[in-house]
Structure 1
Amino acid sequence: MKLLFFGTPEFSRSIVEELSKNHEILGVVTQPDRRRGRGHRMQPSPVKKWAQDNDLPVFTPSSLKDETFLQEIRALGAEVFVVAAFGMLFPEELLTMAPRGALNIHTSLLPKFRGASPIESAILAGESISGVTLMKMDQGLDTGEIFYQEELSLEDKTAPDVLEEMIPLAVTLLERLFRAWQQGEEVNTRAQTGPFSVCGKYDKSSYLLDWTDSAEHLSRKVRAFYPDAYIKWGNDRLKILQTSVHSSVEQDPGTVILTNDEGIYVSTGDGVLSIEMLQRSGRRAMTASDFLRGTPISLGTKLGG
């Protein structure tokens, strides 16, 4: 297949790299360079860097309605557009430009969790199963008709773990569709049915753990926002990387009730959260037992939140 790829982050780069092994990538459309990293220097997106390394055309339009951009895209003659974590809604002209239309890889089982943060939102909602949806794009936000879906488990996984597992699933669904098209098969789509939900982006304020929440919800936040969930530690931050949930005790939320080689046990609004892996600013991640050897914590200490 001759395809034009739309995407921006590392997830997208992994998908287009796999597709390039069997298909002709005519170019990529990606977000403009942004300030990234500790130095806040202008850097290209992972998709743009991959395209440059492979001498492919790169387009970074500020608007998908720009007439010059649309003319350039039309001239490429792509059979289909493939979209994965691109971040801009398509105008009608772009949706209908390629003979096979525009395909989108979405990291949830639509119609659940349409929008910008489907993996984090599924974990926070306590879902045990999520998956990947391959759909035909329309002008709505993740409302297009579905070609295929593939499930995967969310149990005890962080959001980055889940995203990594979704890459081969996404490629498999795309290859399945392309193979059917190349063999002349008619592939039917189905409309999204049932209850739907929409999720927006989470800002950094969401990463702070509030001890008045339940232990279960705090544990989900650690997984959903890994490795950025944190508590306040004086003027510093402690990133909380791994936890487990235990039954409740009668203590004020945020109180340390037990420390041992397994963890730092903290009372919450409902239940006890054991902190098992954590990281101070500028330090390496460590187990609770290693942390306690260098920084003992007395029982009854109130942790920040």
Structure 2
Amino acid sequence: MTRRGVFFLCAAVGCGALWVVLGVQALSILALFFAACLAIALLAVVPIPRARRHRTAPLTLSAETTAPAVGAAYAVRASGELRRGLGTVVAAEWEIADNLAAPVRRIAPAHLGRDAPARRRARARTGTAPNSASPAASDPRGFSASLTIAHRSRGPASIRIIAAELHDPLGLVRRSMRIDQRISVLVVPQLLDGERLRTGGADGGDPGGAGDTRRLATNRDRVGLPGGDVREYLAGDPVRQINWKQSARQRELLVRLPEQESRRVVELRLDTDAAAYDTSEPFEHAVSVLATEGIRQLRAGNDVRLRSGAADPELCHTPSQLLRALALVRIDEAGTA
């Protein structure tokens, strides 16, 4: 029961006791009134046995991104149909499970999708049909809830909506309706700006270990054909591709080869030895430094070969591939290869 419900219960018991003691008929009417209100509230939120298994429909969970960065806030939304009888949904219970932290439960507001009268009148004037892709926007039973999250550690994480809290129309009784829907994301490293990249972290201290950008080893291998290569002229080659100067020196017709874009493979190494770091913070900063440098190289048109500890090197061609690989990097445990 809510506080109001407890008050109604105490009022019903008190009025009934006074009626028995004093014999005043008006007190019996008040006791029956408070008791009837409580009975109506209970019937509004307690499902009948016949419809219990159909009280909920599968909800759809969606996230703004499936690869959020550490510390970056994003929203997770739940929507669908909720068969809740006469009860009103007021809140939803969520559980956030980070990779390196215990699950945390949070309560966030929720609501049922009902068209506002002004919106219905506007649709009637313009003849616009309701959006069928958003059941919470037009269906009175449509359930909608959202939660803003910011993860503190890299790696796989899950967000689960556990239950919805229902109140009766009078606000006397509340009930928790179990939902249990889950969505998974992969938390990637946080990218550093220029100041934190130079100073070695948000606190301006010495990053230590492999967190220092000067410890990042790079190895550039040129691939592709260098510009200016030629070959012997073949029948059917365009005349504009003939290298006349080179042909005059060689005394034969030579054709320019098309220049291929020269790409470099930049190798970035990350030390995963636990002895190289005092705490986990320098290691996390080293991962962020590596991610920032790797993204810079990829945007410059280079490929990145990632080496972390004794793991096999991984060649990354896109920023998402690099960030997802770094999201799973861990410090070597003592005594392991």
Which is higher, the Rg of structure 1 or of structure 2?
2
Q: TM-score normalised to the size of structure 2?
A: 0.17
Higher helix share: 2
Higher RCO (CA < 8 A, seq sep 6+): 2
